[in-house]
Amino acid sequence: MEQTVEEARKFNWKNWAAVRKMGHYLRPHAWGYALGVLIISLSGILTLLVTRLWGQLGGVGTSSSEDAVVESPMAALNINMHNLVEIGWLILIVLAVQAALSFGRVLLFAKMTEDMMLSMRNDAFEAIVSMPMRFFDTRSVGDLNSRVSADITAIQDVFTTTFAELLRQVIIIVGGILALLYFSVTLTLLMLATLPVMIIAAILFGRFIRMLSKRTQDQVAASNTIVQETLTGIISVKSFANEAWEVSRYLRSIKDIRSLAMRGAIWRGAFASFIILFIFGAITLVIFKGAELMMEGGLASEHFFTFLLMTGLVAGSIGGIAAQFSALQQGLGAIESLMELMDESREDVVTQTKQPYPAFQLRGEVSFENVCFHYANRADVTVLSGVNLHIEPGKRVALVGPSGAGKSTIASLLQRFHEPTGGIIKVDGRPLSEYDLTGFRKRIAFVPQEVILFGGDIRSNIAYGKTDASESEIRLAAEQANALDFIESFPNGFATVVGERGVQLSGGQRQRIAIARAILRDPDILILDEATSALDANSEKEVQIALDALMRDRSSLIIAHRLSTIKNADQIAVLSGGSILEMGTHDNLVVRSGAYKKLVENQEIDLV
């Protein structure tokens, strides 16, 4: 992949339009955020006020005059600014108000952000499940899962803490500088002379730190992909005794994480050291000049104490603003990345249960007319070439041929997992693209060769074919699929948990659960992709009886290697290299001594 994940996630201010799409999530909370900004502003002002009172508290007793001029802001409070007790009580009152405001602000921002994240998580998941299959052909599921999770967490941090802290620090910096100018223009200008150096340093250091942080996140996502792949394929890992190889693969990945993290730590440490050296050096210079002014009588002691405390407060905010800005940049990059994901082209499917899909039934006439296909990322490899196939309503068509002939691709195109690159597919005389996608798929049942069950119980896995099915309907479907006996042999029966991907069931049991799911669906078009391949001979016969009953008067597309499944088909299509070589019934094709007979003779079709 030419473009790295880091480059894809790096926020560019030119792409501000992507970030503006967050307005959809922010608008319902506009007044809440306005109130939050007001609370933060008041909190920042109170912080400056407390700092001023601390300075006054420290300066009382060192002033040489009892009738020192009291500033108008303090005079408005009607407080004796030379009385330690009154100043102390005022500080406690201000701190109590500030604590209450901070508590309210945290709750307010948490409530609004969690509401936003609820909508965003739902929309992100909805976007992912609505993506066409070609989207998943070019993306790692583990990386996609990790990326979405990391992005939403980064966005959550921005609106929960980063935004509030950044605004508070800006208020303290601006308000603090204005207050410092009031106390001493000379000292303030001396202090401000250091700002350009700090700002330039923050920009330069922040750029490297942000780059390394993004690379670290990407490497963490890559390591998570390794974990997911290993655990998903744990049977293969165990059977090939490749535990050590997987551990070494993961170790190489996390060593890269450590290396990147350490480089980031070096830059962060260098930045922190520079800031400390520069800030404390500037503070030392200010103290030196302030002491000189105080000795000359040009600065009151309480003003000097206040100036020192406020200078430290402003300097600390300036030092911290770089980290907050870096976090903001990271959050904006995450927003951009997530909005781009949500803008990806999706299938026209119904993703909300409250939004009904058009209910209709199909006769089941299927026509492939000169259909061609290749995958988008492999345009040079032709999968199907000029396929013409017709399934009459209620008839069964079997697809046979060697691996890679294009059998499963035909089934995939019929379900609109992909679109043909040439030709047209019609159902009941209408192009497939004219049907409502969700409504059409609701009229199809598919039993794949590799059955993957969900991590719930057997009942929920069967009911996946009809989510509102009754207990009796689920039980009847299991019985027709020859699954009832083994289900009831479990202590928990239908409540038995199948484990992730159904690992606690055998291959044959998983396949019968999938067949029960298809039976419960009661479809107009049935697609069977090696639906009985994992069954023993006795179970296969019983399930075949159930499938025969299920396929009666339903258009069925059957992919199989077993002669017992194929021979009763109304038509058999023999594929090779993405083309149909011949079609006919079992008896006719055997007599012809063509490609079909060779498959039988070469035992590519099981005679069992």
For strand 422-427 and strand 571-576, is the pairing parallel, antiparallel, or unpaired?
unpaired
Confirm if 324 and 172 have CB atoms less than 8 A apart. Answer: no
Looking at residue 17, its pLDDT comes to: 65
Backbone angles phi, psi at 424, to 5 degrees: -145, 150
Looking at residue 359, its pLDDT comes to: 66
Residue range 453-521 forms a domain whose CATH class is alpha beta
- Helix/strand/coil for 601: helix
Backbone angles phi, psi at 463, to 5 degrees: -65, -10
Q: Give the residue-averaged pLDDT of 284-313.
A: 75
User: What value, to the nearest 5°, has the Cα angle with vertex 521 and ends 519 and 525?
Assistant: 90
**Domain boundaries for CATH 1.20.1560.10 within the chain:** 5-342
Long-range contacts of 137-145 (CB under 8 A, 24+ apart): 137/375, 137/376, 137/377, 138/376, 138/377, 140/225, 141/228, 142/221, 142/224, 142/225, 142/226, 142/227, 142/228, 142/229, 143/5, 143/221, 143/222, 143/224, 143/225, 145/224, 145/228
User: What value, to the nearest 5°, has the Cα angle with vertex 453 and ends 449 and 458?
Assistant: 125
CB neighbours of 353 closer than 8 A, spacing ≥ 6?
A: none
pLDDT of 511 over the 70 cut: yes
CA dihedral 485, 491, 496, 497 (to 10 degrees): -130
Classify domain 5-342 at the CATH topology level. ABC transporter transmembrane region fold (1.20.1560)
Looking at residue 475, its pLDDT comes to: 92
For strand 579-584 and strand 571-576, is the pairing parallel, antiparallel, or unpaired?
antiparallel
H/E run at residue 403: none
pLDDT of 271 over the 60 cut: yes
For strand 396-400 and strand 571-576, is the pairing parallel, antiparallel, or unpaired?
parallel
Q: How far apart are CA 173 and CA 315, in angstroms?
A: 8
H/E run at residue 443: none
pLDDT class of 352 with cuts at 50, 70, 90: low
DSSP 605: S
Confirm if 555 and 367 have CB atoms less than 8 A apart. Answer: no
Looking at residue 1, its pLDDT comes to: 36
- How many percent of the chain have pLDDT more than 90? 9
**Domain boundaries for CATH 3.40.50.300 within the chain:** 364-443+523-608, 453-521
pLDDT in tens, 568-595: 889 999 998 889 999 988 888 888 878 8
Q: Round the average pLDDT of the chain to a whole number and report it.
A: 79
pLDDT of 70 over the 80 cut: no
pLDDT of 367 over the 90 cut: yes
Confirm if 335 and 152 have CB atoms less than 8 A apart. Answer: no
Please count the other Cβ atoms lying within 10 Å of the Cβ belonging to residue 251. Answer: 12
pLDDT of 365 over the 70 cut: yes
Query: In CATH terms, is domain 364-443+523-608 a member of 3.40.50.300?
Result: yes
* Angle, helices 471-480/507-521, rounded to nearest 10 degrees: 120
DSSP per residue, 495-520: G-B--TBTTTS-HHHHHHHHHHHHHH
Looking at residue 2, its pLDDT comes to: 37
H/E run at residue 212: helix 195-232
Q: How far apart are CA 97 and CA 100, in angstroms?
A: 5
